[in-house]
């Protein structure tokens, strides 16, 4: 995700879905793996003079860690390391998830776009198929896997079922065991896939 999109309408859907799913399985914790890409915030101009946005403003409105105060139960933890090099990022993120192995967790993968394109070629905006599988495999029994997916087809063709099938194949579960959550009245271009590890 990009920090510049923190607290937009999609976050209303995202955190509502996550809290409801976490309560459904009586999770102790939601772990957000942010797949964070740094943002350029630009500047403001006052009387012809350019100014950078003050750090206090960015901290208040664009710090993704602010979400940790949303709930006391389940607790929320954010893995907010910037994604530079995929292999080391993946190792660190999996280690972070493992540090909560004694808790029932919702592990939420939150890339900018979602799963890599069907024909491959994913970049820092995507989670690669094999990466999704590594997170799934790392989940303890009783935990839940949740995955952010942005609309992939701007031509108006159906896209949700195709991405759901791709994700179910990537993590090795039948498609009928992957649920779909959305907030169509708030934002029609995003869904959240979820599957429980039993």
What number is the average pLDDT over the span 17-35? Answer: 97
Q: Residue 31 is part of which domain span?
A: 3-196
Q: Are 170 and 132 in contact (CB under 8 A)?
A: yes
CATH number for the domain harbouring residue 89 = 3.40.50
- Per the structure, the count of domains in the chain is 1
CA distances in angstroms from 106 to 60, 76, 134, 182, listed in the order given: 26, 9, 15, 17
**pTM for the complete prediction?**
0.87
Task: Give the pLDDT band (50/70/90) at residue 4.
Answer: very low
134-188: per-residue pLDDT in tens? 999 999 999 999 999 999 876 778 899 999 999 999 999 999 999 999 999 998 8
């Amino acid at each position: 995700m990009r920090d510049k999109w923190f607290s937009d309408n999609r976050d209303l859907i995202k955190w509502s879905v996550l809290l409801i799913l976490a309560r459904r399985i009586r999770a102790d914790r939601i772990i957000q793996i942010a797949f964070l890409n740094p943002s350029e915030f630009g500047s403001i101009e006052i009387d012809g003079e350019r100014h950078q946005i003050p750090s206090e403003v960015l901290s208040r409105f664009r710090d993704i860690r602010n979400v940790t105060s949303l709930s006391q139960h389940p607790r929320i933890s954010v893995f907010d390391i910037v994604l530079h090099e995929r292999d080391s990022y993946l190792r660190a993120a999996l280690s972070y998830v493992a540090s909560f192995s004694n808790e029932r967790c919702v592990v939420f993968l939150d890339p900018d776009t979602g799963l890599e394109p069907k024909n491959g070629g994913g970049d820092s905006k995507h989670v690669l198929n094999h990466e999704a599988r590594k997170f799934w495999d790392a989940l303890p029994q009783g935990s839940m896997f949740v995955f952010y997916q942005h609309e992939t087809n701007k031509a108006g063709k159906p896209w949700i079922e195709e991405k759901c099938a791709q994700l179910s194949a990537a993590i090795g579960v039948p498609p009928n065991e992957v649920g779909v959550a959305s907030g169509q009245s708030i934002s029609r271009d995003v869904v959240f896939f979820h599957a429980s590890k039993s």
